[in-house]
Amino acid sequence: MIKGKNVKISDRAVIYNPDNLIIGDNVRIDDFCILSCGEGLKIGSNVHVAPYTAFFAGAGIVIDDFVGISAHCAFYSTSDDYTGHSLTNPTVPDKYKNVTKAPIHIGRHVLIGHAVTVMPGVTIGEGVSIGAHSFITKDCVAWAIYAGCPAKIRAPRSQMILQLEKQYLEERDGRGRV
C-alpha cells in the first residue's frame, strides 16, 4: 500500500490485496468499508468514503481528487453473467463463467449519494453528482446531476466548486489568504 499524508483509514475497514492500493493525501475511509484491490484501486487526494462502502476492483478502479462517496455504495469492476448462460460466483472455475471485466473511473469533484451502485466499465465525468439509490450502468457526462434506476441526467451541476478548489489550494499551499 502506498499512502499519502493525513490518511485516516478506520481499523474496522477491510483491505484485500493492499499492495495494489494507492491513496493520495487527506483521505478518510470510514468504518466497515471493503477495499478489494484486485487489479488496483487508486484513490486521489481529498477523498471521503463513508461507512459500508465496497470497492471490488478486479479490473481496476481509479478515484480522482475531491470525491465524496456516501454510505452503502458499491463499485463493481467485474460482474457475473446473470442471463443463465454461464455458471457464477468465485467458487466456479473461470472456464464455466462469463465475467464482465472493465475498469471504473471516477472523475474529480464527483459526489455520490447514499446506496449508489456502479457497474463495470463506467466513467463518471468530472463534477458529476449522483442522487441516492441510483444505478449507474453507463458513462456519466461531466458537470451533470444524475438520479434514478437506471440513472439519467436530471439537471446541470454548478462549476463554482472549481473556484472554491482554487482558493482552498492557494490557502493550503500558503499562497493565498489565510
At 125-167, the pLDDT tens digits run: 999 999 999 999 999 999 999 999 999 999 999 999 999 999 9
What is the side-by-side strand order in the sheet with 54-56?
A: 14-16, 34-36, 54-56, 74-76, 117-118, 135-136
With a CB cutoff of 8 Å and minimum separation 6, the contacts of 175 are none
Helix (H, G, I), strand (E, B) or coil at 56: strand
Helix (H) or strand (E) holding 119: none
CA angle 128, 131, 136 (to 5 degrees): 70
Spatial CA neighbour of 42 closest among 54, 55, 26:
55
Domains and CATH numbers, the chain: 2-172 (2.160.10.10)
Helix (H, G, I), strand (E, B) or coil at 94: helix
**Average pLDDT value for residue range 98-119:** 98
- Report how far residue 29's alpha carbon sits from residue 15's, in angstroms, rounded to the nearest whole number: 11
Give the model's confidence band at 178: pLDDT under 50 very low, under 70 low, under 90 confident, else very high. very low
CA dihedral 153, 104, 4, 2 (to 10 degrees): 170
Question: What's the grid cell of residue 98?
Answer: 462469463
Spatial CA neighbour of 123 closest among 142, 135, 141, 105:
105
**Average pLDDT value for residue range 91-111:** 97
Q: In the prediction, which pLDDT does 176 show?
A: 57
CA 88 to chain centre: 24
- pLDDT tens digits, residue range 28-64? 999 999 999 999 999 999 999 999 999 999 999 999 9
Q: What is the mean pLDDT of the chain?
A: 96
